Structure 1
């Protein structure tokens, strides 16, 4: 179109002017107005800022290099700094921290002068920090093991000693009772080089088992070390309670694995919740969870452990609400409903379970000042004491409604075992003041010695089960603790029976060692017989398994401490080699289905008590006598350490009201 067309009126008559400029003028102009130049400059400036920000603030991977976790690291730093960002640090506390030379990302518990610190402000910050920690831990439990490993590697350059001192400052603790000498809970190396090597081997085994649990089953009850996933036994119901973490914690502490101890301690503080809507074993919950929490409180004074123990104790009390006060075996910690096993002699309670709470509940009353826990177990004991006992023996079953015995089955192994152990140890725990417990123990051992301790044709001593009047000529692995018990009873109170009880202790421990030595794997079966020319050997397929049990090693440890016979250490070392040969796998340690086969099938379960008992007793077997001294500590049925009143300043009893 020519330029003359506009003049001839060809353009539409309804075309508007733009800002007072005719169309021909707008498109024909060769320069911009000043306002338009500013607008264009603003657009380019905005674009530049966006590009600059993207380069410096987007995750490093978007720039083609760096760590995948950079954003995650920034998020962690913001989490840690959260309380400081939302609630400013008091000036005096700010200056103290800056002078100390560390970042303001931890809120230690202070006991300073309230005139110079705002206590309410600190409390608010602590609550906020706790909430942030909870959210962080919930996220961390879902992280891949590789990420946990990366984070540990990044922090490996930090001095472990410095980290431990910071942890101590972070936790509120109760000091030991006044004393000239504190118990030895650190070190404990023997002077002999071979013994030190063997002790360090047990520590390495603990590290191998723990690291794999952390990697593959963190927060779950137990680990399946072959399939490398979590496992929950029926004793825990359908719950996920971190049983391995709780059960293994005091072993980590006495082995000096403090970084691992802190890892477990913090999980308990932030994740362990007993509001569990599932039926679980009252007995197992007591010896594993309550026992460990109380042990860790005694060792560290950390009030968190005491608070968790109280929370658990309150939820366990409804099990005692029966016609006789004898507790049921199963309890729902959420509803408080309890009941007994259907298979237990027409719904009876079990002797070993109702009698294996005295150590924990007595100590819980002493450290809290609340007598209700002691009163419950004292009532159970008095009920049992006043019952007429057949031949002076305690049957394994008792009705919680009628208070009468069930089927007359007596055993020093399963169903009966730890009842007798706790009679002796309650007396020791009390500083030898609980004479009722010692008298009941002495009377029970007299009856057991008379009717249930048998010598085989070849001279092996064993503790037989007794069904009414009939001996079964069988001994279970669970009864192998009895060697140590008889020895401890004989050494702690001299009497005309002391010498005989020491002979029984040595004989039972020797028989349990024979049950190990007569297997292909050099590990003992679940039960062994003394019939038909077969002695200390299992005759049934369902009894040939080994599930990382500790009872034989418990007797080795006690017998070594009390007799100093070197054979007990040699037997312990044999067991360690057998565990390494047959039970160790890349993912941890597993039980065996048949100890009489050189290459047995594995059960793929790393039991929580492997940490609490098996490795602890083997470690102590090769430790110095003053380390966790038997004069200062008793072990509960799960080998958790409980202090002796009046002998151990770590008892930390609550002040009398």
Structure 2
């Protein structure tokens, strides 16, 4: 066929020859609608998916956090130092107009006189008042925020009458200024500990945010912890008050926002430890409430405590060890001497539950722990000792295994500290403590041939010459008991406290890494050394450092600070990795294998006690704060206005 005479296919008719024409109007409209629809779908996909919508989206937040590391190289250290200096200069300039931050002596005194009659309330019906200076000459309050620290730093300004002190506003977390030691070398050590906390925290945020703990070598969340696989943010809740105490305000605000927006206890479906949740979660939240007055912390703590209450539904009121937050069912560990409850667990609830009752006005929490106290006080005790197991159904002791370490430890600590927290009104607790210590020193305290003092374990009438790292807290406990009540026990308590702390230091000093083993023994061939492979590991535990802190505060002997600095150097050399801090599997090895776990208590206890060890004595003074067994400070009733007791 010719090009002119033949019939062309339809699609060629519009592109050849003189008959060429454009699209019809209807065709143009259809094409436009298709194109517009395509653009709308693309636009909506990018901006309106839940992962990207708003700053609350999880993926958006993760990209925002990771952005600087992924796309922007870190600035030179010199530039960071310059920026820090500029921030400090701006802070100094702002302070000129704010005497609560860093004002000069005369301006601050004048401002206090001007504001003496002003009442700043946490709630409309409740003012917070600082009592007058204590008889020791120390300020009556170790200020929990920078609004009050200048008061601690300047002498003569506290008048004999009371001065009203405002709580920290719920949404403002000012930089801390207090607590620095007079010696520059000590201040540098304190700053080093703060840098360690930042390294541990930043890597947790980067690699395991909202997970329970961090695997710093693998750089991911740790799912094999005592909290199971469900992410509960254990490191966040445990580390909150350490961030605040160290003045890490941006990090604290970040953690607080997660507590408000993401932490949902109703979503937890697993069995959890009543003991661990209490000392880490409730304890940490209660401290943050005392520090800031932010009621979100109090309310979250109360909600968690309510979830624990079903565990107390036993014939004796002694709680079971595990409770399911979803169903309310509870049980004990099968291995615990015929499904008994454990002394160190049900005996370590009193501080948090009694304080929670006072700040909420609800007596149910105190009633629960008072019932435990009644059972323990009235039950017959073999040789005055407390076995580690008690059956919650029959109210009878299980195996007669006694220990100042695992399974027993913090029960004794809470007897002493319940008395202190009550403003020394809970005399029953102090009497039980003294009686328990008398029995323990008679039957469990031993001295090695080389003169090392230790608390041995008892299994029925057989002595096991072994001391747990956990038992090293007892040095600090006995020192605190010695200085808080002057009686016939005081001198002996302090003497034993020093000896026990020395023994625990020896357990560190006799290892290659200069970090202490999980347990150590006393035999003819070895003293203060681990003999079994299962005892040679170090999981970033705080107990020995805890005793250094108490002994230094109460004796002012510089050797305890020296020992603490030895621990810092050992941690940096053997436990620090690019992704955080890891435990070790053999402290006697020249090249120890790492366990790849950054425990939440490393943030809550180990680093906090080191920071306090290198701080001034008035910084979270022992006259005004009691540290729970997870190192969360709680205010002493009647001595500390930040107790924040609910109005009647």
After TM superposition, is the score higher than 0.5?
yes
- Distance between the aligned counterparts of 2:127 and 2:556, measured in 1? 31
Q: 1:255 aligns with which of 226, 234, 246?
A: 246
1:496 aligns with 2:488: yes
Hey, what's the Cα distance between the residues in 1 that align with 2:50 and 2:332?
49
Task: Answer with 1 or 2: which has the greater Rg.
Answer: 1
Q: What are the within-5 Å matches in structure 2 for residues 312-327 of structure 1? A: 312-327=304-319
**Counterparts of residues 38-437 of structure 1 (less than 5 Å):** 79=54, 133=56, 136=57, 138-140=58-60, 143=63, 146-147=66-67, 177-179=128-130, 182-185=141-144, 186=176, 187-275=178-266, 276-437=268-429
Aligned equivalents of 1:207 and 1:617: distance in 2? 15
Q: Against the structure 1 CA distance between its residues 149 and 347, is the aligned structure 2 distance closer, same or farther, given a 3 Å change threshold?
A: same
Counterpart secondary structure, 1:235: coil
- Structure 1: how far apart are the matches of 2:591 and 2:642? 46
Could you say which residue in structure 2 is the equivalent of 1:649?
641
1-structure distance, mates of 2:384, 2:445: 14
Partners of 2:368 and 2:553 in 1: CA distance: 34
Pick from 443, 447, 470 the counterpart of residue 439 of structure 2.
447
Residues 141, 400 of structure 1: alpha-carbon distance in 2 compared, 3 angstrom cutoff: farther
- The Cα of 1:310 is off from its aligned counterpart by 1.1
| Partner Cα separation in structure 1 for residue 618 and residue 50 of structure 2 | 47
Inter-partner Cα distance in structure 2 for 1:208 and 1:563 = 32
Aligned residue-pair number: 554
Asked whether the 8 Å contact 1:525–1:545 carries over to 2, the reply is yes
Q: Given the superposition, is the C-alpha separation of residues 152 and 341 from structure 1 closer, same or farther in structure 2, using an over 3 Å criterion?
A: farther
Contact 2:141 2:624 in 1 (8 A): no
Query: For residues 556 and 370 of structure 2, what CA distance do their matches in structure 1 show?
Result: 36
* SS of 1:236 mapped into structure 2: coil
Q: Say if 2:521 and 2:530, in contact at 8 Å, map to a contact too.
A: yes
| Alpha carbons 1:173, 1:303 under 8 Å: kept | no
Partner Cα separation in structure 1 for residue 205 and residue 23 of structure 2: 63
**TM-score, normalised on structure 1?**
0.78
- Kept after mapping to 2: 8 A contact 1:329/1:340: yes
Q: 1:148 to 1:354 in 2, by over 3 A?
A: farther
Which whole-Å CA distance do the structure 2 matches of 1:523 and 1:553 have between them?
11
Secondary structure of 1:528's counterpart equals strand
Q: Which whole-Å CA distance do the structure 1 matches of 2:377 and 2:211 have between them?
A: 40
Q: Report the CA distance between 1:239 and its aligned residue.
A: 1.9
Question: 1:620 aligned to 2:540?
Answer: no
* Structure 1: runs of 5+ lacking an equivalent: 6-26, 60-70, 81-132, 166-171
1:213–1:223: 8 Å Cα contact kept in structure 2?
yes
Structure 1 equivalent of residue 474 of structure 2: 482
Provide Cα deviations, 1:425-464, integer angstroms capped at 9, x if missing partner: 0000000000000000010011111111111111100011
Contact 2:47 2:53 in 1 (8 A): no
The Cα offsets for residues 89-114 of structure 1, whole Å up to 9 and x where unpaired, read as xxxxxxxxxxxxxxxxxxxxxxxxxx
SS at match of 2:516: coil
Is the CA contact 2:212–2:225 (under 8 Å) kept in the aligned structure 1?
A: no
- 8 A contact 1:480–1:552 mirrored in 2: yes
Task: State the distance in 2 between where 1:477 and 1:76 align.
Answer: 46
Q: 1:295, 1:602 → 2: CA distance?
A: 32
Cα 1:179/1:151, change in 2 over 3 Å: farther
Match 1:564 to one of 556, 561, 569: 556
Q: Which moved more, 1:524-533 or 1:514-523?
A: 524-533
Q: 1:460 to 1:78 in 2, by over 3 A?
A: closer
